[in-house]
Structure 1
């Protein structure tokens, strides 16, 4: 367990496992490093794998300040890389982590080797927003938990996996941090920055993702020069967990530059 210091002094918790070339795994909005628990070992078997708690989550500091934005989260990742002594790493970001990874690759290009963007979006106004029925279900305290589970996983998976689930929000998340995470993700707009990404890029998305609509995947792949697109049939928002057997091998091959990912 280690802590880096962000530019504003906030402590950023991160953990390192495995060996090989460095790989940073970035979690979704309001979540911490445990987002990756079900699959982290698969990556650590090949790479020196870094996972972190966003500011406001887990064992990181949670300042109630205007420092929660996807570009600033990218600067927090750079602080972690600096503290870990890593000059350049592969980056795999999912959901809000994918939004942060876009800024990391655009604004800190020298730090990014290969880039994987999973179940993410370029942001408003060019991205495709979730539908009104989804927003309504998530806003209702009575239905929000069940709705989020069903957006993350298929009914078949939920019927055979009782949890715990690590994609539903950090267990250590103050109310102010939850609000600020939501605002940071909602305000993300990297559209103009995407053409500046020079890292080889793979865009991955589940075909049945209504939480972050699947239509965002080709938008990203078309906007980022030379990007490849990989769709996971039947995958919902947590495709990387439920469909790990389908998604992880091609991601590993892409990161190892062993094969061309096909849509």
Structure 2
């Protein structure tokens, strides 16, 4: 385990595995680096995979309350890349991690080779169909894993991967940190800045995502010039784990678009 120093001095735990071009994985809201589980392992066959715990999560320090915004969390991600000795990396963000990835590509364009955004959005939108399903949000707030599992993963995948499922839903985090992650994700708003993203961008989104409905991905595609949207039939919010075919699409995209 390694530690990077965030701009405010907070220690950020990070790890790496594999060889090849660097690929930074940015986890979702209140989820530790370990939550990438089998996805990180598969990607490490082809890339130097770098993962980290967000502040307040897992083995990272919690830092100051006012640093919990998606834009400032992107500064944490940049600090991890610096600690890893990486000037340029592919960036793969899931859910809130995708929101953070957007700011990383906007504020540190020189660091982002390609950008992969999974199950995410540019923020709240008045557009029809972009708001989460009410029952899905109630399940998310409840923290009840039995209610969350169907929103994220296919039932067959859960049965076949009990350990990965457990780790994903049981990241070490205090109620204090979880609340600030939730607030950071909810208040994200990058719509007016997304046109500044110049990194080739792949958007992956499940057609069955009730937490971040598909119209959010369509809007991202419209706002990020030259981006590519792949709709994953029937997938929910956790498609980065239970739909391994997405890894092939990522590899193909990176091979075509990387600097």
The bucket for the TM-score relative to the shorter chain is: over 0.9
Provide the C-alpha distance between the structure 2 equivalents of 1:70 and 1:138, rounded to a whole number of angstroms.
19
Provide the C-alpha distance between the structure 2 equivalents of 1:138 and 1:81, rounded to a whole number of angstroms.
30
Moved more, 42-51 or 178-187: 42-51
Provide the C-alpha distance between the structure 2 equivalents of 1:37 and 1:164, rounded to a whole number of angstroms.
6
Please report the TM-score for the alignment, with normalisation by the length of structure 2: 0.93
**Which residue does 1:87 correspond to in 2?**
87
The secondary structure found in structure 2 opposite 1:106 is helix
Residues 177-230 of structure 1 deviation map (CA, whole Å, 9 limit, x = unaligned)? 011000000000010110000000110011111121122111101110000011
The secondary structure found in structure 2 opposite 1:167 is helix
Aligned length: 255
Correspondence list, 1:162-241, <5 A: 162-165=162-165, 166-170=167-171, 172-241=172-241
Checking the alignment, whether the CA contact within 8 Å between 2:8 and 2:63 is kept in structure 1 is no
Structure 2 gap ranges (5+)? none
Provide the C-alpha distance between the structure 2 equivalents of 1:155 and 1:61, rounded to a whole number of angstroms.
34
The secondary structure found in structure 2 opposite 1:129 is coil
Residues 2-22 of structure 1 deviation map (CA, whole Å, 9 limit, x = unaligned)? 100011110000001111111
**Which residue does 1:12 correspond to in 2?**
12
**Using a 3 Å threshold, how does the CA distance of structure 1 residues 181 and 169 change in structure 2: closer, same or farther?**
farther
Correspondence list, 1:1-263, <5 A: 1-125=1-125, 128-140=130-142, 144-165=144-165, 166-170=167-171, 172-244=172-244, 246-257=245-256
**Using a 3 Å threshold, how does the CA distance of structure 1 residues 145 and 41 change in structure 2: closer, same or farther?**
closer
- In the TM superposition, residue 77 of structure 1 has moved relative to its aligned partner by 0.7
- In the TM superposition, residue 153 of structure 1 has moved relative to its aligned partner by 1.1
Checking the alignment, whether the CA contact within 8 Å between 2:200 and 2:257 is kept in structure 1 is no
Checking the alignment, whether the CA contact within 8 Å between 1:64 and 1:176 is kept in structure 2 is no
- In the TM superposition, residue 64 of structure 1 has moved relative to its aligned partner by 4.8
- In the TM superposition, residue 45 of structure 1 has moved relative to its aligned partner by 1.1
Checking the alignment, whether the CA contact within 8 Å between 2:27 and 2:96 is kept in structure 1 is yes
Provide the C-alpha distance between the structure 2 equivalents of 1:153 and 1:232, rounded to a whole number of angstroms.
13
**Using a 3 Å threshold, how does the CA distance of structure 1 residues 79 and 41 change in structure 2: closer, same or farther?**
same
The secondary structure found in structure 1 opposite 2:182 is helix
Checking the alignment, whether the CA contact within 8 Å between 2:37 and 2:164 is kept in structure 1 is no
Provide the C-alpha distance between the structure 1 equivalents of 2:162 and 2:84, rounded to a whole number of angstroms.
35
**Using a 3 Å threshold, how does the CA distance of structure 1 residues 190 and 84 change in structure 2: closer, same or farther?**
same
Checking the alignment, whether the CA contact within 8 Å between 2:114 and 2:257 is kept in structure 1 is no
- In the TM superposition, residue 159 of structure 1 has moved relative to its aligned partner by 4.3
